[in-house]
Amino acid sequence: MGVSKWLFLAASLTLALPVLGADPAPRYNVVELQAEAQRELANDTLTANLYVELNDANPVALATAVNKVSNEALRVAKEFDAVRVRSGNNQTYPVYAKGNVLQGWRTRAEIRLESKDFAAASRLIGKLQASMQLANTAFSVSPEARRQAENELIAEAIAAFKARAEIVRGALVGRSYKIQRLNVSTGYSAPPPRFAAARVLAAGAAEVVAPDFDGGVSKVTVTAGGTIEVLD
């Protein structure tokens, strides 16, 4: 009885092995496809970097002067509720004269602004440029607006992918097609930052004329790529 049982199990395993190890049926008319959907969005967010950079032979006096400018800039910025402001990089490094002789020190302190209210940001930058320099400005699409556009473009990109799949099916005179693999990816292209030239203020000027800003547009792209099999 025991021998018969083991013979039956061995036979069962032997019969099952060819089934488990069988190669998948070959596929024909397999085509790689890609389609995309794009949309231009108005940039709704402005970021700007301003800085103060001073030299002094006395590092204590230098730090005091730079901190005074930075603290006053942060105080003024609090009056603009529509603008987010935070401190940026703060660096101090030695300045050498000929012969590698220490001549003094140079300190640079930055503050960074971000706002969806371009008019308010412009007014604040105009005030701050009385004591600071505008390093650069950049424009972008807010994360929530970009996410909404991507969600809408996913459906458009997949529809474009299916339309191309139908073209391929027709060209190969197929009965239908089957999607084997489909990947969806997103892309974002924003305008490069704008670097500002240094401004020289007239004596006694309290602030400069507020700059005008045109945010421009960014491009959001969703790509649908994958493989289809055209069926006869």
Would you state the pLDDT for residue 211? Answer: 79
Would you state the pLDDT for residue 22? Answer: 54
CATH of the domain at 126: 3.30.70.2970
Dump the DSSP string for 76-94. HHTT-TTEEEEEEEEEEEE
Q: Residue 177 falls within a domain, yes or no?
A: no
Q: Residue 192 falls within a domain, yes or no?
A: no
Domain residue limits at 120? 45-141+200-210
Q: Residue 128 falls within a domain, yes or no?
A: yes
Would you state the pLDDT for residue 15? Answer: 39
Sequential pLDDT tens for the chain (232 residues): 544 443 333 333 333 444 555 556 666 789 999 999 999 999 999 999 999 999 999 999 999 999 999 999 999 999 999 999 999 999 999 999 888 899 999 999 999 999 999 999 999 999 999 999 999 999 999 999 999 999 999 999 999 999 999 999 999 999 999 999 999 999 999 888 776 655 544 444 555 777 778 889 999 999 999 999 999 8
Rounded Cα distance between 127 and 121, Å, is: 10
Would you state the pLDDT for residue 206? Answer: 56
Instruction: Look at the chain and report how many structural domains it folds into.
Output: 1
Q: Residue 134 falls within a domain, yes or no?
A: yes
Q: Residue 12 falls within a domain, yes or no?
A: no
Residue among 55, 57, 108, 46 at smallest CA distance from 82:
46
